[in-house]
Amino acid sequence: MIETVRKEEISRSYLNAVCAIKGISMENQDHDDDGLDVILKKIITLGNGSRFNALMSVQLKSTSSDYTEYADYYSYPLKKKNYDDLLRPATVKSFLFLLILPENENDWLAQSIEQLIIRKCMFWIDMEGFPNRENTSSVTVKIPKANVVTPEALVAILEGIAEDVVQ
């Protein structure tokens, strides 16, 4: 299996584990011509007691070297096609999730009978409202370090999506 495919599989496993903790369903998209790899969904109970099916689509990326770290964010060169896919209007809100792995692939994962560790971290960005770009090959996006993909963050995003639709 080539390295890029292995990284993609690790990113799916990482996200699946984070989703499972909060009962968020993760559906892989077999045909991702639109650049979207998974759909996340959860039934959210709103403040008024009503229940809402909240969905979000995610484009997964994984890298061990193709990024630059700054104090508050990571700079990542996203292929122009993927950038455009995320900006396309849709009925389901789209996000970019980036898993940053250590450079040495031997450090990507550690396992013992006590724990399974995927090293480094996954971050998210909502690109709604980003401008169209004329670049032909890639567009650099800045992903805030504060946007860590955690179980709580995913629930908060899905709750926000539900509240926005209901309003």
Helices 3-21 and 151-166: crossing angle in degrees, nearest 10, is 70
CATH number at residue 107: 3.40.1350
Burial of 38 (0-12, 13-18, 19+ CB in 10 A): buried
Tell me, what's the pLDDT at 159?
93
Contact between residue 148 and residue 86 where contact means Cβ atoms under 8 Å apart: no
b/e map 78-89, b = 16+ CB within 10 Å: beeebbebbbee
The number of distinct structural domains making up the chain is: 1
Sheet holding 94-100, edge to edge: 25-28, 38-45, 51-63, 94-100, 121-126
- Over range 139-153, report the average pLDDT: 97
Q: pLDDT grade, residue 89 (50/70/90)?
A: confident
99 has pLDDT over 80: yes
User: Whole-model pTM above 0.85?
Assistant: yes
Domain of 19, in residue numbers: 3-166
DSSP symbols for 88-105: S--SS-EEEEEEE--SSG
Provide the pLDDT confidence category of residue 130 given band limits of 50, 70 and 90: confident
Confirm if 101 and 123 have CB atoms less than 8 A apart.
Answer: no
Tell me the C-alpha distance between 14 and 35, whole Å.
Answer: 19
CA 137 to each of CA 5, 33, 83, 84: distance values in angstroms, whole numbers, following the listed order: 21, 18, 10, 11
Q: How far is Cα 61 from Cα 11, in angstroms, rounded to an integer?
A: 7
